[in-house]
Chains A and B, each alone.
Chain A
Amino acid sequence: MDAMPKWAEVTLVPLISLLLAAILSALVILAIGENPWAAVKLMVSGALGSTYGWGYTLYYATNFIFTGLAVSIAFQARMFNIGGEGQALVGGLGVALVLLYLPFPHWTIALIASAAGAALFGAAWAFIPAILQAKRGSHIVITTIMFNFIAASLLNYMLVGPIKAPGQEPATSKFPATTQLPSFQDMFSTADTVLFRGAPANVTFFVGIAACFALWLLIWRTRLGYELRAFGHSESAAKYAGISPTKIIVVSMLISGGLAGMMAINNVQGEAERLVLNAVEGAGFIGIAVALMGRSHPVGVFIAALLFGFLYQGGAELALWTSIPRELIVVIQALVILFTGALDNMVRMPLEKVFLSMRRPPKPDRKSTTARAAE
């Protein structure tokens, strides 16, 4: 029998962790002589106070949805894919190649093609570590980290050489106008009011939501998802059931790499509209924190991605309007990751005790089932 009811598990634990992270962050802000309350207000108004702020928050959140889902699906099979950063970079390359070299009459077709290109490239980048793990036992954590560096070098090479646009910058030329994705400003502004003015959030956000749903379906409803989770829980049992470890490792990593790659339709096609150096900006790593906090569940990932989107945009506002340095924002983000991810048990264990002690009274009639459960 679980120590905690499910609702407490999914709401109380992350909320208390967040609260602890917030308190510690406040102390740090106090320590450098700033007012934490003012900082919170600024973050909230900057990230959520206007459609402009929302436009940025949701743009960042979209990145994190894809990388968070990528880490989640791999983690369901107990594969720790640290390579989201590299897979997203290479996914960007896929988007750029598709959009630069193929003609598209309309953005919808461009979106489908670029998503396919992004997923294909990201998946291909994850394939090599996956096959090394499955066939040679090379540890996926090590190989995916290494592949991040190789991806960065590959992008450097491509952007100063083969696909570089004329000019000073190491970037491609702008994608054709027909491939531009509609931004929130295009989609939601009415004749008299302009909403989301200049913000980068675009239609990819809805692709992200669709991806959440698709992944939920995959993990919890399909036979593949069933096999994948079974393998994640117990490799020996999976073998007994005739589930091929090689297949699960490779397939889960392909889906994972594909999702990480698809982040590129948001930042490369949707926002920059060309491929620049270091386009991913660490979103691949944030994805790990998002997946941890979201318990590798698509709904959890979605919520965690929104939170990190808020932290990103709110943090940018802080750096802009106060003397709180940019680095401190990283500290706050790190504290959130630390508390929601690494120190999870610190909150969970005492909470479980609380719930257990609350359960004492109706013990007599429960005893028979719990004693049986313990056998």
Chain B
Amino acid sequence: MSDPAIELKGISKAFGAVQANKDISIRVMPGTIHGIIGENGAGKSTLMSILYGFYKADKGEIFVGGKKTVIPDSQAAIAAGIGMVFQHFKLVENFTVLENVVLGAEDSAMLKPSLTRARRELKALAAEYELNVDPDAVVEDIGVGMQQRVEILKALYRGADILILDEPTGVLTPAEADHLFRILDGLKREGKTIILITHKLREIMDITDTVSVMRRGEMTATVKTSETSPAELAELMVGRKVLLRIEKSAPALGEVILDVKDLNVTDDKGVHRLKNVSFQVRAGEILGIAGVAGNGQSELLEVLGGYEKATGTITLRGQTIDLTGGKSDGQSRRRRGIAHVPEDRQREGLIMDYHAWENVAFGYHHDARYRKGLLMDNAAIKADTAGKMKRFDVRPPDPNLAAKNFSGGNQQKIVLAREIERNPDLLLVGQPTRGVDIGAIEFIHEQIVALRDQGKAILLVSVELEEILALSDRVAVMFDGQIMGERLPGETDEKELGLLMAGMTDVPTDKPVHEAVEEQLAHAGTGDKRGS
């Protein structure tokens, strides 16, 4: 048996009092795809950062190809044949693809010879692995899927034999993700070793050969993918049995609560973010808005939440809402019965330095029950917080702890408790389970469905297609600021929604889906360029 491509032995790393990695050992055989799965904060990224030379391990050894290797910085990692594709791409936006690939790996004083050589190699790589990218395209003009390919090319150009991908599908449409997986498969067949970090069970099942599960800084198991199941992996991640399906009854539709007509938003830079968006949400229904991040969903939530100006009409229970700013701010929206769980709880939903109790009043601090004249009724807020923490199982249930000291899931529960217990007519929910551990996801989904069952209207925005399909009673897909279409979850599938998410309204029959999607995207790209 050959030496493992990568072997970690007893890696430990602490940040202050927090043990991020604890005695982790792992063997990855060459020519395999190895998945690392775990909840947020389980220590996956820390482990990979150690492997890539960003952090120094407190203890432990790294072997690359059987040889003990010290990796003090990323240069050493590259020299050892390790390449990394980060979740957030590290590309120079206004450079061409070619320039980005060469950047940092120029091997002569003059640029020209390096560029020529890189052009030749890119061509070869493209042919070999389906990594087609126009070397002369400027990075900011190409789509996210393309940009990710540039990152992979960068690593390969530097001679990487071991490729680490950190949550690579977070920004991709399903079709783009499929394409990525085919590329990874091709790389594997050529003998490259791939480490895939993800929190999506499905990806692990689809593509990996072996999988390691991390929980709270420890490696809880390493198993062959063919010998495990999503349920088992979920249990290993969370440490208890998890319900992966959501139980919900058929919706009891009521009157129209929210009616949005011809909504348009143009941002400060003059970019048209929302284009004639129209839809309705009824009482007792969850409308899911699917779409790849950055296609106008955030702006939609901001407009409805009262902190982005727009043109068009929005009526709530038949009453028109002023969209010009001025009198209609977040406060008046709340008074009218709109509650909002924002997409980014750390930037918007919570003040991270405020205590939990202060956050429970956030946005509702003018409510009569929370005030005593000009002063805030801190005692009343604290009492209310204690009750909310109990009902929403926030841990630790300490109202005096600062928001930043709770885990992602518990932070989200604080926001949910605050918004749901207002008993709103309409609940806006953005990315309810982003960065939330599986255990809490279950609970959060239950709460949203429970609110629906009380006859409330819910608008759910999520980039997780699985979540949309599981929760929604009706699905609308957004692309480039428009609603591409509405579907019923029972009458559609991920493939059809994926096409809509890529901006296509009908399914082509003559060619594979991914090619059609790419063609469409390429058209959209050139169209934009001409326009600007």
Residues 351 to 375 of chain A near chain B (Cβ within 8 Å): 356, 359-360, 363, 366-367, 369-375
Chain A contact residues (Cβ within 8 angstroms of B): what range?
A: 20 to 34
User: Are B330 and A242 in touch, CB under 8 angstroms?
Assistant: yes
Residues 351 to 388 of chain B near chain A (Cβ within 8 Å): 351-354, 358, 361-363, 365-366, 371, 374-376, 378
User: Are A242 and B39 in touch, CB under 8 angstroms?
Assistant: no
Contact A356 B374, CB 8 Å, known A223-B366, A233-B351, A371-B217:
no
Contact A363 B41, CB 8 Å, known A234-B352, A240-B363, A369-B396:
no
User: Are B333 and A375 in touch, CB under 8 angstroms?
Assistant: no
Question: Once the chains are docked, how many angstroms separate the CA of A229 from the CA of B353?
Answer: 10
Which residues from chain B contact A366 at a C-beta distance below 8 Å?
Answer: 17
User: Are A372 and B329 in touch, CB under 8 angstroms?
Assistant: no
| B129 interface residue per 8 A CB criterion | no
Question: Once the chains are docked, how many angstroms separate the CA of A124 from the CA of B216?
Answer: 55
Write the chain A residue with the least CB distance to B362.
Answer: A241
B348 → A minimal CB distance (Å): 4
Q: A242 contacts which of B41, B333, B344, B361 (Cβ < 8 Å)?
A: B333
Question: Once the chains are docked, how many angstroms separate the CA of A227 from the CA of B351?
Answer: 11
User: Are A375 and B40 in touch, CB under 8 angstroms?
Assistant: yes
User: Are B362 and A221 in touch, CB under 8 angstroms?
Assistant: no
User: Are B376 and A223 in touch, CB under 8 angstroms?
Assistant: yes
Question: Once the chains are docked, how many angstroms separate the CA of A94 from the CA of B90?
Answer: 56
Which residues from chain A contact B405 at a C-beta distance below 8 Å?
Answer: 1, 373
Question: Once the chains are docked, how many angstroms separate the CA of A371 from the CA of B396?
Answer: 12
User: Are B347 and A375 in touch, CB under 8 angstroms?
Assistant: no
User: Are B437 and A226 in touch, CB under 8 angstroms?
Assistant: no
User: Are B329 and A375 in touch, CB under 8 angstroms?
Assistant: no
| B35 interface residue per 8 A CB criterion | no
For chain B, the count of residues having a C-beta within 8 Å of the partner chain is 52
User: Are B375 and A240 in touch, CB under 8 angstroms?
Assistant: no
Contact A222 B354, CB 8 Å, known A1-B405, A356-B16, A375-B40:
no
| A237 interface residue per 8 A CB criterion | yes
User: Are A242 and B395 in touch, CB under 8 angstroms?
Assistant: no
User: Are B376 and A222 in touch, CB under 8 angstroms?
Assistant: yes
Question: Once the chains are docked, how many angstroms separate the CA of A233 from the CA of B347?
Answer: 10
Q: B17 contacts which of A222, A229, A243, A370 (Cβ < 8 Å)?
A: A370
User: Are A230 and B351 in touch, CB under 8 angstroms?
Assistant: yes
| B342 interface residue per 8 A CB criterion | yes
| B19 interface residue per 8 A CB criterion | yes
Which residues from chain B contact A221 at a C-beta distance below 8 Å?
Answer: 375-376, 378
Contact A3 B306, CB 8 Å, known A237-B347, A373-B406:
no
Which residues from chain B contact A370 at a C-beta distance below 8 Å?
Answer: 17-18
Q: A372 contacts which of B20, B358, B407 (Cβ < 8 Å)?
A: B407
User: Are A241 and B16 in touch, CB under 8 angstroms?
Assistant: no
| B157 interface residue per 8 A CB criterion | no
User: Are B406 and A234 in touch, CB under 8 angstroms?
Assistant: no
Contact A375 B408, CB 8 Å, known A237-B350, A237-B362:
yes
| A326 interface residue per 8 A CB criterion | no
| B96 interface residue per 8 A CB criterion | no
User: Are B374 and A224 in touch, CB under 8 angstroms?
Assistant: yes
| B340 interface residue per 8 A CB criterion | yes
Question: Once the chains are docked, how many angstroms separate the CA of A222 from the CA of B406?
Answer: 26
User: Are A241 and B375 in touch, CB under 8 angstroms?
Assistant: no
User: Are B376 and A363 in touch, CB under 8 angstroms?
Assistant: no
| A41 interface residue per 8 A CB criterion | no
Contact A222 B375, CB 8 Å, known A240-B348, A241-B362:
yes
A135 → B minimal CB distance (Å): 13
Which residues from chain B contact A217 at a C-beta distance below 8 Å?
Answer: 375
| A45 interface residue per 8 A CB criterion | no
User: Are B352 and A233 in touch, CB under 8 angstroms?
Assistant: yes
User: Are B374 and A223 in touch, CB under 8 angstroms?
Assistant: yes
A199 → B minimal CB distance (Å): 38
Contact A356 B352, CB 8 Å, known A1-B405, A223-B375, A242-B332:
no
User: Are B363 and A242 in touch, CB under 8 angstroms?
Assistant: yes
User: Are A234 and B340 in touch, CB under 8 angstroms?
Assistant: no
Question: Once the chains are docked, how many angstroms separate the CA of A254 from the CA of B345?
Answer: 31
User: Are B331 and A242 in touch, CB under 8 angstroms?
Assistant: yes
B393-409 near A? 1/0 per residue, CB < 8 Å: 00110000000011111
Which residues from chain A contact B305 at a C-beta distance below 8 Å?
Answer: 240
Contact A240 B354, CB 8 Å, known A223-B374, A356-B16, A371-B216:
no
User: Are A226 and B376 in touch, CB under 8 angstroms?
Assistant: yes
User: Are A244 and B17 in touch, CB under 8 angstroms?
Assistant: no
Further pairs besides A1-B405, A221-B378, A242-B330: 20, Cβ < 8 Å: A3-B16, A222-B375, A223-B375, A233-B353, A234-B348, A237-B350, A237-B362, A239-B307, A239-B348, A240-B305, A240-B340, A241-B330, A241-B362, A363-B17, A366-B17, A369-B396, A373-B18, A373-B407, A375-B42, A375-B409
* Between-chain CB contacts (< 8 Å), 17 pairs: A221-B376, A223-B375, A224-B374, A230-B354, A233-B354, A237-B347, A241-B365, A242-B306, A242-B330, A242-B363, A356-B16, A366-B17, A371-B41, A371-B216, A373-B407, A375-B40, A375-B42
A residues neighboring B (CB under 8 Å): 1, 3, 217, 221-224, 226-227, 229-230, 233-234, 236-237, 239-244, 356, 359-360, 363, 366-367, 369-375
B residues neighboring A (CB under 8 Å): 15-20, 39-42, 216-217, 305-307, 329-334, 340, 342, 344, 347-354, 358, 361-363, 365-366, 371, 374-376, 378, 395-396, 405-410, 437
The list of the 10 closest CB pairs from A to B, nearest first, reads A242-B330, A375-B41, A375-B407, A242-B331, A241-B363, A240-B348, A374-B18, A239-B307, A242-B329, A233-B351
